[in-house]
Structure formats: C-alpha cells, structure tokens
Amino acid sequence: MNLRFRIAALSCLGLVFAPALLAQSGAMAPPPLMLFVREEVKPGRGAAHEATEAAWTQALIKGKSADHYLGMSSMTGPSEAWFIMGYRNYAEWESRQNEFDKSPMLKKEVQKIAQQDGDLLSGTRTFLGAYRQDLSFGPDVEIGKMRYFRIRIFRIKPGQNKAFEDGVKVALDAYKKSGYPASFAFYEVSAGMGSPSFVVLRPMKSLADMDVLDTADKAFQEALGEEGRKTMQKVFAETVNMVENQLFAINPKLSFPGPATIASDPAFWTPKPVKEPAAK
C-alpha cells in the first residue's frame, strides 16, 4: 500500500466514530467522513499479514501514539483486510497526514513494517466516504460490542444518483414501518473509487443477527407492499450498475482500538497470548 496513505490512516483518531467522542463509552454516531483502506491479502498469507499488523500496533504503542483504527477480515469473497477510520471533516484529515513526520524514529520503523506488509499483499485501494444520514437507518451502536460487518458497495449509473437515492428513501419508509431491528450507515464515496458509488456498513453483534434479519425482511416486504416492491425493482434496475455484498469479521489482531472500545469488552480487544504446552 502507498505508505503515505497508510500513515494518514494510522494518524487519524477514528474507529468508526468521530474522534472527539472516543473518550466516551456507549453508542456513538458515525463520523461525517470515513477513510477506507482495502488490502488484498495473498492466498495463504493471512497469518503473516496479522503478524505485520501486530508490528504496526507495537510501533504505535512504542511511539506512545493515541491514534486508533478498526480492522476486519473478509469471511466471503476475496481474501481481504479492511481498515476504517473516522474524521470530523477534510481539514482534520489533512492535519493528520503529516503527523508521523514529527517522530522520525517511529516513521522509520513504520516504513520498515510497510515494506514487509507490502510483500504479503496483491493490491490495495484507499477511498473516502461522506456520511449520508438521510440514507442511513437505525440507532447508533456501541462499536466495541460489534463483531461483524455486512458491507455493500453500490456502483451507480452516471446521472442516476437522485433516482437511486429516491429508491433508498422508499425502502427507509418501509424499514421504519416494519420496525426493522438493525442499523446501517450509508457513505457516498467522494474520492478513490469510480463514482458515483455508495458504501453501506451494517454492524452485527453475532452472525445469529442474520437469522433475525431474514425474518425481519419478510415484515419489511409486507410494509413495502406490492406497489413499493415494483417501484424498488424498477429504480434499482435503472440506476445500479453493480452491487458487492460481503461479510467481514472484526479482527482485534488487525486493530488498534482506543480505551473506550477496549472498555466495552476487554477480553475481546486484548486477547491473552496462547501459552505453549510445558515440555515433559
């Protein structure tokens, strides 16, 4: 991955929440701006990649960094690791990019680890998304208690943004009417990906949530009604070029969580090392 983008990513104060809120616990709103770092891990190199990411974390601890991020591993689709981090605005993102220049020793160590990390990857992509509250749904969540993400990427046909958004809002009305038991955050990609594109993040505490949502989807379809279903089918057929739909597991070995996140579930975020069996 481009080292400057990785340093910028590590230099932000976000998990999936605004930096100013990290000292708090409990549910928090999604940040206005999200940086996504998407790494394609070479087949069979997942364990080695986790080791280099652990080295990133140790470098940050050694450098007494207060910067945090959330990492996850793909459960479906290509072998990938995603990192997400939040900002209040573009000005804050800009201010973070040169932060590592203030610590030459830390920067040198990070550069060494970045080279090792690059040998394990077949490709990377970094992109920015702006939070669309008007297209999002459900209450805020406590990210430290989440274990999975369902991530969808919608690539929209040129000139069809408005029609697509209108279709999403038809769905939102049905979600509200049916009492849909889930939350998801819509981000409109502003740079780094063929546009127009949207990324939708749906956090889950357990894969069992998928079973609950299967039942909830039936209530959603009933709330949508026949006319609503026809409208939705027409809108998405006319506006969407492609949809990616993947499941990810939040991975503490890929993350550098902040104190509030760790406090949500210390056993998960600070797992104890596996002890080797005693020699006989």
**15: left (phi > 0), else alpha (psi -120 to 50), else beta?**
alpha
- Six-digit token string for 68: 């945090």
**pLDDT at 272 (0 to 100):** 62
Domains of the chain: 3-130+248-265 (3.30.70.100), 133-244 (3.30.70.100)
Reading the chain (280 residues) residue by residue, the pLDDT tens digits are 444 444 444 433 333 444 433 344 588 889 999 999 999 999 888 888 888 887 777 777 776 666 677 999 999 999 999 999 888 899 888 876 666 667 777 777 777 877 787 788 888 899 999 999 999 999 999 999 999 999 999 999 999 999 999 999 999 999 999 999 999 999 999 999 887 999 999 999 999 999 998 889 999 999 999 999 999 999 999 999 999 999 999 999 898 887 888 888 999 988 665 454 454 4
**pLDDT at 100 (0 to 100):** 66
> What is the DSSP code (8-state) at residue 2?
-
Length of the chain (residues) = 280
* DSSP-based three-state secondary structure for 38: strand
Task: Report the alpha-carbon distance of residue 96 to residue 2 in Å, rounded.
Answer: 16
**pLDDT at 23 (0 to 100):** 41
b (16+ CB within 10 A) / e for 204-231: beeeebeeebeebeebbeebbeeebeeb
**pLDDT at 184 (0 to 100):** 97
**pLDDT at 67 (0 to 100):** 64
List the beta bridge partners of residue 242.
155
Decide if 61 contacts 260 (C-beta within 8 A).
Answer: no
Residue with tokens 């009604």: 225
Task: Report the alpha-carbon distance of residue 28 to residue 66 in Å, rounded.
Answer: 19
Residue with tokens 């990390």: 117
Listed residue (59, 51, 9, 34) closest to 149, CA to CA? 34
Q: Which pTM does this prediction carry?
A: 0.84
Task: Report the alpha-carbon distance of residue 74 to residue 65 in Å, rounded.
Answer: 27
**pLDDT at 106 (0 to 100):** 73
Model confidence over 80-109: pLDDT tens digits? 999 998 888 998 888 766 666 677 777 777
Model confidence over 103-152: pLDDT tens digits? 777 777 777 877 787 788 888 899 999 999 999 999 999 999 999 999 99
Decide if 189 contacts 128 (C-beta within 8 A).
Answer: yes
List the beta bridge partners of residue 152.
200, 245
**pLDDT at 98 (0 to 100):** 66
139: number of CA atoms within 13 Å, CB side? 6
Decide if 70 contacts 12 (C-beta within 8 A).
Answer: no
Decide if 144 contacts 261 (C-beta within 8 A).
Answer: yes
